[in-house]
Amino acid sequence: MSISGAGGMSATYDRIGIGYRHVRRPDPRLAELVHRALGGARTVVDVGAGAGSYEPTDAEVTAVDPSQVMLDQHPGPKKVLASAEHLPFEDNAFDAAMAVMTVHHWNDLRGGLRELRRVSRRQTVFTWDPEHQPELWLIDEYLPEIRDLEHARFTPLSDVVEALGAHTVLPFPVPHDFTDGFQIAYWRRPEHYLDPVVRQASSTFAQLPPSLVEPAMARLRADLESGAWRHRHADLLEREHMDYGYRLVVAGEEEPCAA
């Protein structure tokens, strides 16, 4: 079932979504965190669903996304073309709502979060806190332009928590072998940033002009070939996880939904 929603925002992922699922493979450790937070919900709306990463397999899921390109890659039977700010559902239509790495794309963050609270009894939002330190080495050493872009897109975690009326905030230190190829995934595997297919699956990279990205990647390639990167970041190579500010925010019903 595919339902067209009102509104006409041109979605970023209409441009970058081709081949997205090949790079953005759900990581089982993040999936476990999200599924526990959903509390056994039987009906779930996934807002900004994309290709369906992290959706529970034991629930009836309705996928919502403003990008038809992304919905075309979604494997589920219930798909709705709509924006987070205008969800075409009745109040409390779902046991739970989920939103994974999407709130930074919404035109109206608070409006979208209000809609999550309106249509569900429990809300789970996975996002990134731009005020967290440390930041990824890629930004300081190669592409400082990412900092301005990300800080313009992401709302401080405290604002998300307040807008949702959240009762729980769970940290997610990123494993060194994280399979979901968003920007932070390769903090210990820098050679992956040299792959244009990997970069294209990141909305941040996809919005930067080649005139910035290509010289930066040339510098990274040279540092990898000379061993300079490894020398500077020998401490990272000993770590299994890094906390770069990714958090799962949970609001609404505190008791698990009935199974």
First and final C-alpha spacing in the chain: 25
With a threshold of 0.85, does the pTM exceed it? yes
Q: Is residue 148 part of a domain?
A: yes
The pLDDT > 90 percentage for the chain reads: 75
Over the range 105-126, which residues count as b (16 or more CB within 10 Å of their CB) and which as e?
bbeebeebbbbbbebbbbbbbb
Number of separate domains in the chain: 1
- Where is pLDDT greater, at 257 or 165? 165
Q: Is residue 153 part of a domain?
A: yes
Q: Is residue 259 part of a domain?
A: no
- Where is pLDDT greater, at 23 or 15? 23
Q: How many CA atoms lie within 13 A of 101 on its CB side?
A: 23
Q: Which residue has the tokens 């899921």?
A: 61
For the cut 50, the answer to whether the pLDDT of residue 1 exceeds it is no
Mean predicted confidence (pLDDT) in 165-192:
95
Mean predicted confidence (pLDDT) in 4-24:
47
Q: Is residue 257 part of a domain?
A: no
Q: Is residue 36 part of a domain?
A: yes
For residue 14, give its domain range. Answer: 2-251
Q: What is the CATH number of the domain that holds 180?
A: 3.40.50.150
State the pLDDT at residue 22. 57
DSSP label of 131: T
Q: Is residue 256 part of a domain?
A: no
State the pLDDT at residue 201. 81
Chain mean pLDDT for the chain:
89
Helical residues (DSSP H) of the chain, grouped into ranges: 12-16, 20-23, 28-38, 68-73, 109-119, 137-141, 145-153, 157-164, 196-200, 203-207, 210-226, 228-232
At 41-86, the pLDDT tens digits run: 999 999 999 889 899 999 999 999 999 988 988 999 999 999 999 9
State the pLDDT at residue 257. 45
For the cut 60, the answer to whether the pLDDT of residue 8 exceeds it is no
Q: Is residue 78 part of a domain?
A: yes
Residue 255: pLDDT band (50, 70, 90) is low
The answer to whether 122 touches 92, Cβ cutoff 8 Å, is no
For the cut 70, the answer to whether the pLDDT of residue 143 exceeds it is yes
Residue 205: pLDDT band (50, 70, 90) is confident
Q: Is residue 99 part of a domain?
A: yes
Residue 259: pLDDT band (50, 70, 90) is very low
Residue 99: pLDDT band (50, 70, 90) is very high
